[in-house]
Amino acid sequence: MKRYLKQLGVLFLLFACIGLVACGEDEGPGGDSNGNSYSHNPGRNCIECHGNLKYAGTVYTDISGGSTIAGEIIVITETDGSVRRIESDGSGNFYTSNGNPGGGYTVTVEGNTVGMVASATNGGCSAGGCHDGSSTARVYVN
């Protein structure tokens, strides 16, 4: 009986470890960014590593991608009319784990609204071919 319990314990530990590893994959920031915290990798596609984020990017001072800006409000209007207001953090990055990015959402930064092309089916703003500063301008304030 004792031996049986010990085996059960080992089995439990094994599953606990597998569970932790599995959860680790999508770990990262949750909720919305705000001006009181800092993050990393400005200009990179956050969603590439943080699969739990729905929209994420970096906001810059100008179209050529000068420096990043903290405390900027990014307003996203989804196709069903839901509006999300996300504040860029101390590193100029903004992110949220909420929302439903689909073709045609719009983004407003300081009164400037940009409509996404219909093929924008995710919210990784800095993804290659999106607002990466080469094919399309960075997200910026002017």
Query: Which residues of the shown chain bind ligand HEC in the complex (CB under 6 A)?
Result: 27-29, 39-42, 44, 46, 48-50, 56, 58, 93, 95
CB of 17 to ligand HEC, least distance (A): 18
Cβ 2 to ligand HEC shortest distance, Å? 40
The rounded radius of gyration (Å) of the Cα atoms in the chain is: 19
Whose Cβ is closer to ligand HEC: residue 104's or residue 133's? 133
Amino acid at 68: T
* Minimum distance, C-beta of residue 121 to ligand HEC, in the bound complex (Å): 19
- As measured in angstroms, the least distance from the Cβ of 94 to ligand HEC is 7
**CA–CA distance, 56 with 93 (Å, rounded to integer):** 7
The contacts of residue 94 (CB under 8 Å, 6+ apart) are: 33, 55, 56, 57, 58, 59, 72, 74, 86, 87, 88
Question: Which residue has its beta carbon closest to ligand HEC?
Answer: 46
Nearest CA among 109, 113, 93 for reference residue 141:
109
CA distance 24 to 121: 25
Cβ-based nearer residue to ligand HEC, 57 or 120: 57
How near is the Cβ of 141 to ligand HEC at its closest, in Å?
17
Question: Would you say 24 or 81 has its CB closer to ligand HEC?
Answer: 24
Q: Which is nearer to ligand HEC, 39 or 120 (CB)?
A: 39
What angle (nearest 5°) sits at the alpha carbon of residue 133, between those of residues 91 and 81? 75
**Complex with ligand HEC: residue 120 or 126, whichever CB lies closer:** 126
